[in-house]
Structure 1
Amino acid sequence: MRRNSFNRFLLMALSLLLVFGNGGLALAATTVTVSKIVLNTSELSLSIEDTYVLTATAVYSDTTSGDVTVNADWSSDKPAVASVYNGIVTAKAEGTATIVAVYTYSDGTKYSQAATVTVTKKVKALTQNVQSFDLRKGETDSIILTATYSDNTTDATVADSAVWSTSVAAVATVVNGKVKGIASGTATITGVYGKKTITVTVNVEVAKRITVDQPELTLLLNDSATVVLTATFADGTTENVSSLATWTTSDESVADALKGVITGYKQGSAVITAQYGTKTVTIQVTVDQTSKLIVDDQSVFLKPEAAQQLKLTAVYPDETTKDVTSTAIWSSSDSGVAYVYKGKVYGYTAGTATITGTYGDKSVQVDVDVAVARYLDLSEEQLSLKTSASHTLTLTATYADGSTEDVTAKAVWSSSNELLAYVKNGAITTYKLAGTATISATYGTLETTLEVEVGSVSKLVASSENVFLQVSGTKQLSLTAVAGDGSSSDVTANATWTSSDKSVAIVSKGLITGYTVGSATITGTYNGTTTTITVDVGTARHLALSETAVNLAVNATKQIVLTATFADGTTADVTDKATWSSSDEAVAYADKGTITTYAEGNVTITASYGSKTVTLTAAVGKKNKLNVDDDSVFLRLNKTQQLVLTAIDANGASSVVTDSAVWTTADDNIATVTKGLITGYKSGTTTVTAVYGGKTVTVTVNVETASRLNLTISKLNLGIDQSKDVTVMASYEDGTTQDVTEDAVWSTDNEDVADVNNGTVTAYSTGSAVITASYGGKKATIKVTAGTPSKLTLQAKTVELEEDETYQVVATGKYSDGSDLVLTDDVEWSTSDEQVAEVEGGLITAVDTGTAVITAKIGDVSVAITVNVGLVDELAPNVTLVTLSPADKEQITLTATGSDGTEIDVTEDADWTSAKTTIATVKKGLVTGVAKGKTTVTASYGGQKVTVNIEVDQISSIKASVSNLALKSGESAKVTATITFSDGKTKDVTAKAEWQSGSYKIVAVTGGTVKAVAYGKSYVTAKYGGKAVKVPVTVDVLKYLEVSQMNLSLSVGQSVQLVATATFEDGSEADVSKTAVWASTKELTATGKNGLVKANSKGTAYISVKYGGKTVKVKVVVK
């Protein structure tokens, strides 16, 4: 009906075209046809009960198109899975269906198009394993999705199929449920699967708390101070987040903050707030408009009679300044040490003083150090001298300014034992006595000591530790005494010598004389030190006879030589010196190595020398041995072989005694023997024995005895009622072979499965049996598998292995009767690539990286397993860009992730290459810069490759993270060093830089970690790539030193505990009572130690307290 309407429309259109003349005729002549039809999708995935509208569009030859959805005929090949009506698809059951649309054009041509519809179970619910979690930046965690379907089944592996999104990609990203933290903040992760949605909140870099090192701060006008903001995270780690936090102020006209740096702008108070993540902390800031005083040097070091001019500057609120040096009031805490006039400080005597400059209501203090040594260093750390010797020491003082001075002549020297060692102005003189003395050097308040050993012998050395002498031989030893200073002298004549056994050896002034065979210990003693020498006199280490067994005729003689080997390796003929004996002198006698025989028999001859003994055996008048020309004979039935028997007498003469010997056989049913002629009668093995002159010899005889049996096949697979002929071959000792199939005895261990008759094997029922062939005492077997399985199965389809790893595959046959049978040993195994994996008996051995297919086959049935060797799913370097300078090195770490998700470091196992070795080289991930330029290094491992970009550039500068440091003793601070390349890029080289301290007595540095050691000023230097940066460091710089009481009034015997408090430059305070130096001007009146002041007698005393370059005095009046 639709086609008729279209025909009428077409006729009307043609009529109208004819009315318009030739132009119309030309237009009517053009025929429009359908090129094709297309659907809005060719693949469709729906859940049960879902619907979807497919549309069909006809594309015409003039490139126009039209919707023909309702004009097409729609059909489904599986309406039970998905039905269709006018393009509307309805999902009904789980499965796959094909929807076809057919459109018939007016000319009768049909056009069709199809769409595949996959119908899955309808998701009833979607749940996740977590509602929220926290991540650190760069850390990852996975969300597990579990779908519950309308049939109440569940699937916990749908995360990879879900659609994931993040609310803030700058905070956290998500791929297949794996969430990665990017930056601090909170993001919502959304997962959609089967029209169900879940959300998970992710917090990145969320701190559990934040703290500030200075919650209260006082600033002068336009002054700045840096505070440190520390975040503590859930895993217990901490981080300086000053530069990452958001800083705000309650009144920016008074004070403001930027990355932890707070600046005062106007007198008043303001609250600075630092926010990091969801946490905040506040700092109370007070800006003081009061003017201040600035002195140009807060610590002065002077030599006696030297002077230094100080400059005092007053700073006013409007930032104007004025030099008030000459108008200020100046004072000194100890004018005997240092005097001050109008800011000029004069040094008088060694000591410390505090200079105070006062102007208006403000004052400043300057520490003055007049030639007070901080350290004393002796030129020797240890010293050992001979008696009656001399040695000069040098004493060096190091002052507060780091300068040094030779104060040897200025110091006070003393010795703990002047009879042993005397010292004056560093020159030590030793006397006749030996021993140890302590040398002390005192300069100012410092003292240093040195232990001196005089005339001590550290060890004695003999010219030989082991001596070997012959009897009456001599050996001269020398004895050397080594002193503590390394010098040595010959004390052979002066030492005391003793011998542990004078009957063996004696010694006089090192000359050793051997007396009798034996061992002794020689001892040499000098100045209480001893050494020992082992002496061996004439003792043989080994004896050797020229012969160990002899055969002699009666009334014969034989000369034997005895050789001794001594401790020094020399040898000597001791035949005449040894003691000889015979076990039976009636048979043979021995004297000085000559053996004389008297009667037939066997004797043992013994030779002794010193503590050593050796023996030889002598056979007198005996046949030595019998020889047969063949000790193993193989014969066929009824065949013969003649043996020849030879006797050898004691003198070595031989004679054929075949006919004279007595011949016997162990089994004459198998073989007989007559005068050495052996005849074989029956298959088997026996022995033939020949006896002559008390000697016996035996021969093994094999009569047609197979050495082994071989079957033509080792395993056999037969169908039911199928037969197969098997041949058995016997191999004999003479190398010949014989077909013994009909002569062998055949048997089966399971005749219900398979039986055998004269080598013909027949299968009867499904199963396996072992067929055995026996012949001549030998057996051979063949395994028979009856019935061809309908299917072969392996326990796995794919296996992942590392090189040299093995995996046992079990092949199971499934038969048509429903039975299963393990056929691992029966199937034929093969590999697609022996270079990757080998297989034998189902045991797969991984050879090299790659993929191979292992196939098991029996009959026409086969099955395969894929073997992946050394392949990884992912390969990841720890960096994607390395920037370094020429000759610089940087290590790249490579991590491989296996199919099971495990990660291993494969840096050294991977293959590394550089695209341009003229720019950078690489070996086992270690990149070395060669010349300026850009290149890449590639790492290959487990079938994967990764590339790292390399940029080599010249260093233009190096900077430290801080410009200066102020620390307290024992405190540490981290300084980072950053280099800048010529292209402006930067790199942290803290760990690689060379760090040095200007004075390790003040400050130490390792890998950028600076540790304060003791009071003073110094610096640390970082050097890298020819560039250097210096950071000044001050240790224990005090603003004030205060004592809890400045005036005391005590009674005799009374004591009071004072507290010394140090106020540092950063405003912090510390109790330094125990670390300060307490000294009294009159210890008879009052003493002070660790702050405890004791009244001893009536009078007045001053207790001085010194710490960190500051000194305060406490007046003590004892009543």
Structure 2
Amino acid sequence: MIKRLFLQKSMLIGLILLLLPMGWSGKAFAAETFSRMVLSTNEVSLEVGDSYELTATAIYVSSKTEDVTLLTDWTTQDSSIATVYNGIITAKAKGNIIITAKYLGTSVSVSLAVDKKVRSLTKNKTSVSMRVGNIEQITLMATYTDNTVSNVTYQVDQWISSNDSVANVVDGKITALNSGSTIITAKYGTQTVSIPVDVDKVLRLNLENNTVSLTNLTLKVGAHKQIQVMALFDNGDYEDISNKATWISDSDSIAYAYKGLITAYNSGEVTVTASYGGKSAKIVVDVDVTKRLVADPLEAFMHVKATKSIALSAFYADGSSEVVTTKAKWESNNDNVATVSNGVVTAFSNGNASISATYGGKTTTIAIDVDVARKLILDNTTMQLSVNGNKTAILKATYADGTVEDVTDRATWSSDNEAVAIVSKGKVSAIKSGQAVINAQFGNNTAKLVVDVDVAKSLSLNKTNVSLRKGATEPLVLTATLSDGISKPVTDQATWTSDNDAIAYVTNGIVTAVSSGQAVITAKYGESTATVTIQVEIPTRLEVNQTDLFMKVADSQQLSLNGYFTGSSEPVDITTQAIWTTSNEEIASVSEGLVTGIAMGQATLVGKYGGKSVSITVDVATPRRLIVDKSSIEMRANEEVQTVVTATYASGETYDVTEIAEWTTDNADIASVIKGNITAYKVGHATISAVYGGKKVTISVNIDQATVLTANKQTLQLQSGASEQVTITATYSDGSSEDITDRAVWKSNSTAIADVKGGLITAVDKGETKITASYGDRTVTISVMIGVVASLEFTSPSVFTMKEGDSAPVSLQANFKDETSKDVTDEAVWTSSSDKIAKVSNGVLKAFSSGKATITVKYSGLIETLTVEVDLAVKLSIDLKQVVMEKNSSVQLVLTATHNDRTSEIVTQAAIWKSSSEKVADVLDGVVTSYGNGKATITATYGGKSVTVPVEVNVATKIYLSKKEVSIKSGTQQLLVLTAVYSDGTEKDITTEAEWTTSSFKVADVVKGNIIASSYGKTSITAKYSGKTASVKVTVDELKYLKITEKNVTMSINSTKQVHAVATFKDNTDEDVSVEGLWSSSNDSIADVKDGVITAYGKGKARITCKFAGKTVYLQIVVS
């Protein structure tokens, strides 16, 4: 109301401003002059239930525009079809009306067409496959929300082809234009349908020639071949589409393809592809492709400046061949030797060249030999020359054609040793003695000549071995045998050397002996040598009168040494001339063969002369062996025993050496020895040794050795710091025993765990070790366990139920094997399976977050665990067992957790919520929001537990109708009520939401539960909602009985008589159905009847029948 008053007031002010005189009050208010009004559109099409907003714009004389939509008066021609408010049109029912907008006296109209709302569109074909030029008609049926169906093929808003070049569409008629695919789309109202269309859809392509499939083709250059590409279409057609296909050659320069005609242009291989309808087929075309090239000849020998023709033949895949000498490409790898043009080879210089011919992708080569000698021959391979002499060698070359030529002057000559010999054009000149190799090169070949200049092939001396006495001389004669076999003396020309001038030296072949020994004399002439061995004063052998000497200390004995020389069998005494040495001057000395014993021992003497030597072994007071009277002794402490040692010498003599032998003990604490007298001190074992003259004997001494040791305790269990005494008893072989605890040697395997002194074992730290007591060579062991834990146990609970943030003390007790125990909480190592949930620190268990964790504690190798449950619920419960919702609504769920202590709390916000189908319903902090029809499961998780609640959105467990059966009269209506029952027991009227159908429209139709009876009969009305159905049987015009007001009628000719048919319905109501009934006469010539009016025509009897609603009644009539 306020808005309307405001608008009226605004319009009034505006009108006053327009009417004010220009001179009023001395000044005028300038006002815009309205010119016209335009609307945003002049035509609107809507479906029932849709809306559309119009905009009204005022245009003033000044060209100013203004949106006056809200200032405009809007009116509708028929509000039952559409309403309009502030320019917003809302479609109500089918029809065509005018919407009028009026502003400042100007009216503008809009044509509005309202059609029924389309629920769905149905096409008669889901897909179409066509051949080019063919036509297919698509029929489109619209199903409206009122369940009516209509053919809207020609009323469709728009038919569209996604590819007009393949197929176009007009009013549902599809015309195929070209091979390919397209999508036909039709839109009607708010609904759209699509139909995929394939035009000339090809399943495969085949390349053929006269129905023979082809994959390869061979052509000559310039030839052509017509092939066909056959297409198999999805409708079964098999058609030549050569003219329609796209032909592509991957090298048009070799072969070109056009509509299946392949033309060869150049030699090579090419692939031709034919494509059509998304498919393709390929063929490999060989154009003059050569399989083999043959050159004749394959090799040639030529002289410089000569020419030679090579013939080249190509052999093709089809078995044919041709001469292609002039077509081929020719090349030489060495134009300096030979060139080639069209198979003609021209030689320029001597050498080798390789000629290649290429044609049709193949290449062959020809070897060309230009004046190249196959071999070189010298008239001699060796040459003997004297210094300053010369000689000419002849060199001949043999060519490939077998000819021989003297090339001495043309060859290149060289010497590898020009200091010995030089060469020029085969003439060799000797320079000095030696050897040189002469090389003769012609072309690529080389010949060699070995030249010897005064070179001896061998040297020989008149003697190979010479024996001389000191001061004597011996002349030697050296003879050289030259390579030509001639021998000559070269003693004076040779170079002479001695390898040891101190023994013998040589001058011009004369050897002079200097001193005893051996020297080698070498004579060198040219590169050859000869040697002779010179022996000066060298005996063949030495002999000494004694090889073994036995002496007493300070004794002396003379040796005699003889030498035997070459050429004499008589010995020569060389005792004083020989060189004498001793291996040990402290044992024995020697001078000119005189041996003196210095001290007891053994030494080796050596006498040397002329490279020979002899050895003599000297024993100076050295025994061969020692013997002790007792090798093993059993003694008691403080006992003494005397032993005797005897020495046996090489002479067989024996002496008591007890007093002079060197005595030692390996353990002076156990036993000592002086000159064989052994004294026992304490239990144990010792080895006594006596050494004399390099020989040694030993005595094993056992003192107070027990056969067994026994400890009074085998195992001990102690706590750290505690002590316990252990005693050891020794039992001897004579059966006696004694306590030797104080005398035993005690040892701990680990003093860090337990220590021991005199059998007193003291616990140091926890652990296990062994204590060993030793006496003599016997030992006994005691196992000691210090603070060894037998088990762990919690003195606090082993299961904790806690809240987040709570703390609780924990304690651990260790039970030791000695049956003692102690708290080890702080010493143990504590770990948690999840520090995020709970952990132990300094004996305090702290809870951090909901969940279950295992606390593990380790101490002394043992492990125990406890369980922590933080905010763990024993059970979860949701305030609703089931949620039944309508679409786009929300419901709050409340989650309650019950803990171990039986306390409960609301944990809705703390839980994790999840929906099995977010399309149906989602959940956040317990608030369930529905989005679509269907079922979903909501899950809440908290404290290791989960609970679910089913959600149903518009899901009915059953539906039922207000009536089980209906009896209705034709032409009348009756409303049914449909009720949905949901799983929570609630009910809802869903009459207008359900889908209604009838089994017979002729009998009765139904709209939103309203039954409209049409004619007599029976039908079934079905309502469908949420997958459920409910039906009711409907009987139209169900009668109890039918009767005629008259039973017998008598009439005269041409008279009429009105009779009435009265129907009594099932509801006991009566109704005149004379007009509705079906009347008939058994004899129309006597009487006829219509709507109960009988007309008599002739005399006689007839039976009048009336039928209505399945009932029949009769009336007898007599016409007189």
- TM-score between the two structures when normalised by the length of structure 1: 0.33
Indicate the structure (1 or 2) with the bigger Cα radius of gyration. 2
- TM-score between the two structures when normalised by the length of structure 2: 0.33
